[in-house]
Every structure is written in structure tokens, then in C-alpha cells.
Amino acid sequence: MRAAPSQEEVRRHNLGTLLRHVHLRGPTSRAELTASMGLNRSTIGALTADLVAAGLVTEEVPPAQGRAGRPSLVVRPLAERVYAYAFCLEVDRIVAARVGLGGVVLDRRELARPRGERPAPKVVAPFAEFVRDVEKGVPADAVCVGSAAAVSGMVRKEDGTVQLCEAGWVDTTFTAAVAEALSRTRGAVAPLEVRNAADLAALAEHSRGVAVDCDNVIYLYGDAGISGGVIAGGRPITGHGGHGGEVGHMVVNPQGRSCGCGSKGCWETEIGESALIRAAGRDGTGREAVLAVVDAAGRGDAMAQAALRQVGDWLGFGVANLVNIFNPELVIFGGTLRDVYLSSAAQVRGRLTRMVLVAARDHVRLRTPSLGDDAALLGAADLAFEGLLTDPLDSSANPP
Ligand SMILES: [Zn+2]
């Protein structure tokens, strides 16, 4: 039998729970913390004092609310003092940000990226440049607690090796390249964590976005391909090597087109950007080309409307399968799938009505992301804060 946790272990666990609460929900009164954590007022007071002493939160008297009695102090994370670096490598852009405790974006830079660009050191160089520039303005008493990157590609869990879905950039030691680039900057950015962008976006929407309070969530993201993040029972499904949730390569049409992965008739060959653009009789790639089809359909272009109906039907086909497998409360459409879904919701819903088991169909809701295009970036920041949130007084994460 496992021994009961010691008083010290309980205290550390509670410190982490309290800090995570204000990190995700923002400034919170002691009274609300008392209620949500189920602890008594003096315990909350002692925990807060420890976090104040560690330089992680501050306590403030809230503005007068015209009520009698002493107001409950508000606990606020010290975003300016405790921060992490978050990086996002996508098919068409890269984003770097310095994010304060509480998920506050303090500095942010976004650059367009040519598709298929390589080698890795060239791709990641702007991350290091960003850190170098930003660090010049960071207050001397501020502390970086970690860094993480979201990559729109397949990320091997054990060593962060990245397989981009773009042709020709396979098995790149992305993690090593970023770590090497960052090692030449002043910021204490190690350790670097790397995860799939859709997985991190799903986690961010789950912990601070549209899927808060939903423990079964499917997040779909469209760019050049289709990626997905699945949360089941409150936990991300990553699979053995970190490649779980690659829903874009679920085969839906054995008579379909060849896919970049080597298979045929994958879902992304029917709903990805090139499928839509081709069906609309147009050229081009990227979000602008997708939005041009959506715009044209809105203005009455019959070919664009037919293309969206066709792609929407396949979108619903795949979502129906996923709903039958995972029984989610929420399906979220991110990236270009957001616009495709909004323009073809009737087709998507039609497929769900015909294909999904009644028991699973009743409560599933279809939504667009509430964190927008920065969901993966914020998910990366949360990942970088994870060590601190798990054990706020751990020496490796705690500011001196
Ligand atoms: Zn495929």
C-alpha cells in the first residue's frame, strides 16, 4: 500500500493547484479560491503568502464595490516577473512570443515563411533573434522558467524529432536546432519542449478557451494538410510515440487521390486546401486562396459554392467517424477549417445526422476556436510553465 502523502507533499500540491488556477483563470479573490479549492480560509492565506514570498503572485485590495465589510484580497500572477518563451512553427508562418505567468503575451513577433523552407538552422534562426532582441528590454529581476515550441508536423515524443508534412524536410532535429540557436542568447530558455501544434491548440482551448469544462474534445486544424488534437477523459491522446491524433490521414476514400504520406484517399486529400481550391476551379495555395473561395461562394459564385458543399460533405463524413469513435462533447474547427466549416455547416450537420449514433449525436457541439490562431502558441507557453505549475517551489523553476 502506498503511504499517505506527507504534510509537505500536500502543501506543495496545493501550491501548484492555486498557482495553476490563477495562471489559467487570471486574478482571483481569496474567497473564490477558498470555494473552488475546498480549503479553509487560513490555509488559502498561508499558501498565498508562500507564493508571494516566492515572487510568483501578488495580492491586491480590489476596487471598492460598495459592500460592507473587508473585501477579499485578489491574488494576481506576476506576469511581468515570471515568463516563458513560446514558439510556433507552422506551414506558412512562424510566431515567437514571450508570455508572462497568467498567459499574458508580453512580446510577440510573427513572420511569413516560405513553404518547404530548410535547413532547420535557417528555419529556427528567427526564434533566437527574437529572444536576443526581447531580452534587451526584460527587467533584470524577471525570470524565464522555460520554453516550448509548437510544430505543425509530426513530433516524436522521445527526442523531439520533427517530420514536417511538407515534402523534403523529414526527420529534422528541430529541437536540437532551436536549442543550439537559443544557447547563444542571454535568456535562460532551457529546457525546451516540442509538441505537435494541433495537440497544443487542443490543450489550450481545453484549459483556457472554448472547451473549458469539456473533457472530451476533438480539435481539427486545417492548413496545407489537416491535423488534429484529441482529448479524451480530460487527457490528450498522444499515442505511443507522440503521433496519435493524425486524423488527416484517416482513409475515407479508397478510390481517392494519392496523399503526401504515401497512402491514398486520406481525409486531407478530400478536405484539405488543395481539394477545395481544385474543386472551385482555381489556383493558388494557402489561407488567402481558401478564403478567396469562401468569399466567392458568399458572392454567389456557383462553382465555389459547389466546391464548399463537396468539401463540407467530406468534412462531415470524417467528423461523423470521429464522433462515433470518441463520443466528444465538442468538435472545434481551427485554421482554414474554421472558414470551410462556417460556409458548409449544413453539409457537415447533414452527415452527422445520417452517420452518427443517436446516443453520441445528442450532445455533440460544433464550434470555432475562441483563442483564434494563437491557440497553439498559448498551448506551448502553458507547456513551458508546466514544471513551475506542478511544483512552484521547486528550485529549478523558482525565481531566486
Ligand atoms: Zn495521408
Q: Which residues pair with 99 in a beta bridge?
A: 84, 105
Q: Cα(248) to centroid of ligand 1, in Å?
A: 7
Q: What nine digits make up the cell of 88?
A: 510556433
Cis check for the bond before 191: say yes or no (omega within 30 of 0). Answer: yes
Q: What nine digits make up the cell of 147?
A: 520554453
Q: Cα(269) to centroid of ligand 1, in Å?
A: 7
Q: Cα(164) to centroid of ligand 1, in Å?
A: 13
Which residues place a Cβ less than 5 A from the ion ligand 1? Answer: 249, 259, 261, 263, 266
Q: Cα(142) to centroid of ligand 1, in Å?
A: 45
Question: What is the average per-residue pLDDT within 184-208?
Answer: 82
Each residue's pLDDT tens digit, 224-267: 899 999 999 999 998 888 788 889 999 999 999 999 888 999 99
Q: Cα(112) to centroid of ligand 1, in Å?
A: 25
Instruction: Look over the chain and give the mean of its residue pLDDT values, rounded to a whole number.
Output: 89
Q: Cα(264) to centroid of ligand 1, in Å?
A: 7
- The percentage of the chain sitting over the pLDDT mark of 90, rounded to a whole number, equals 65
Q: Cα(244) to centroid of ligand 1, in Å?
A: 14
Alpha-carbon torsion, ordered 370, 373, 378, 380, to 10 deg = 140
CA separation for the pair 322, 234 (Å, rounded): 17
- Statement: residue 168 has pLDDT above 50: no
Assess contact for 132 and 186: CB atoms under 8 A: yes
> What pLDDT does residue 183 have?
72
Give the Å distances, CA to CA, from 272 to 252, 260, 305, 310, 322. 13, 12, 16, 12, 17
Q: Cα(267) to centroid of ligand 1, in Å?
A: 7
Measured distance between the N- and C-terminal CA atoms of the chain, rounded to whole angstroms? 38
Q: What nine digits make up the cell of 308?
A: 464548399
- Statement: residue 189 has pLDDT above 60: no
Phi and psi at residue 105, to the nearest 5°: -80, 115
CA separation for the pair 214, 164 (Å, rounded): 30
